[in-house]
Amino acid sequence: AGAAIVKPLHPGLLTYRDGNAEMRWEAMAGQGHVVPTDRFFVRNHTSSPQVDVDTWRLRLFGTGLRNSPTRDDAVEFDYDDLRAMPAEETTALLECAGNGRLHFASQQAHETPGVAWGLGAVGVARWRGVRLSTVLHHAGLTDAAVDVQPEGLDPDYVTGGVNLGRVRRPLPIGKALDDVLLAYEMNGRTLPADHGFPVRLVVPGWVGVASIKWVGFVEVSATALFSPWNTLFYRMFGPGHPAGGGLLTTQTVKSAFELPWNARLPAGVDVLLRGRSWSGNGPIRSVEVSTGDRDDWRPATLERHDEGGAWQRWTAVWRPPGPGRWTLRARATDVTGAGQPEHARPNDLGYVFDGIVRHPVTVD
């Protein structure tokens, strides 16, 4: 195993234990729709592998393909084969299911294991690649297929002394044939090692773990597939959730200010507050901002040029009334009517926080 993360640590990134790196929200201040690759968050279960693209093959196998090829006798494509297939480009948001987990603890006194992400385990990039559906059809997909499971080439994930094997998680065939991309470029350049070179999945709207990096194998199965990443983790466990846990698919609604955590702002002048809101369900319909302790919610101004989806930028003007400590809040509603509650739904592993975050500000 090599270094957990290969790319140099950008000042816009914050590293956490186990080498995971979160984007600092102030690193997006004044930036465009897309997050520059150097400050895009990294979430690795182990470490970024260095894959030799000349010997690398994408291997597809399983009972959902014609003649049911086995893993040792898989249908193979090399890098050039994939690049010769019709390419597509999409701007999509990627977010870790645990993004915002810190706020379960800081705002709701709900302690959970896992990386204590603030709100920066999220990013938007331009991804270019081939549709997973195109590759599946080339490999001989049949009507019998129900699940598609990509598997990464990073080292086995060992936790609590148990080797759980390679990172992998099944996708239902409906989603796999919909808008999923096998991406080989990110923001106009070859996919970097940390983000899944030579190819990764991009599964729009779904929890980040669905977007398997460094894909080496894809199992296509006529029966349901299971892996620890959809049985032991990435489920909603705990009181109020189904016995055995509720499976995580799409992300929830969140909002963030493009400000440092505990921002310092000047008194007596108008400040242009900038932020972004997003949802796994689709576009954001409205955003409101509160700058006081009471519920002084007022609409934020939505940026017009974000129709590409992914997330919605917004602004709000605030004149801090005087020196002291203040709290900024933002809450959004998406196209389905889903909003942000005062308290996110607690769950044992701290997933899909969607509560309203209290952002501390000091005015000098």
Name the minimum Å distance from CB 117 to ligand MTE. Answer: 9
Among 23, 51, 96, 116, binds Mo ion (CB under 5 A): 96
Element (H, E) at 127: strand 122-131
When CB distances are held under 5 to 8 angstroms depending on the partner's kind, the choice from ligand MTE, Mo ion, none that residue 259 binds is none
SS3 of 231, please? helix
Nearest approach, Cβ of 14 to ligand MTE (angstroms)? 14
Residue 100 CA to residue 359 CA, distance in Å, equals 12
What's the rounded Cα separation, in Å, for the pair 195 and 197? 6
Q: Which two tokens stand for residue 265?
A: 């702002």
**Is residue 208 at the binding interface for Mo ion, with CB under 5 A as the rule?**
yes
Q: CB of 194 within 8 A of CB of 170?
A: no
Closer residue to ligand MTE (CB): 252 or 290 = 252
At closest approach, how far in Å is the CB of 196 from ligand MTE?
6
C-beta separation of 154 from 46 below 8 A: yes
Q: Choosing among Mo ion, ligand MTE, none, which partner's interface includes residue 42 (Cβ < 5 to 8 Å by kind)?
A: ligand MTE
- DSSP letter at 308 equals T
Least distance (Å) from Mo ion to the CB of residue 182? Answer: 19
* Closest to ligand MTE by CB, 209 or 332: 209
Taking residues 55 to 94 in sequence order and writing x for each that binds Mo ion by CB under 5 A, - otherwise, the string is ----------------------------------------
Q: Which helix (H) or strand (E) holds 328?
A: strand 324-334
Site string for Mo ion, 12-51 (x = CB under 5 A): -------------------------------x--------
Measured from the CB of residue 13, what is the shortest distance to ligand MTE in angstroms?
A: 11
Q: Cβ of residue 328: shortest distance to Mo ion, in angstroms?
A: 26
Q: List residues near ligand MTE by CB under 6 A.
A: 40-45, 94, 96, 152, 154, 167, 195, 208-209, 211-214
DSSP string over 164-226: --S-B--EEHHHHTTT-EEEEEETTEEPPGGGTSS-EEE-TTB-GGGS-SSEEEEEEESS---
Shortest-Cβ-distance residue relative to ligand MTE: 152
β-bridge partners, 5 = none
CA gap 36, 326 in Å, rounded: 30
> Closer to ligand MTE at the Cβ: 211 or 291?
211
Could you list the residues that contact Mo ion (CB under 5 A)? 43, 96, 208-209
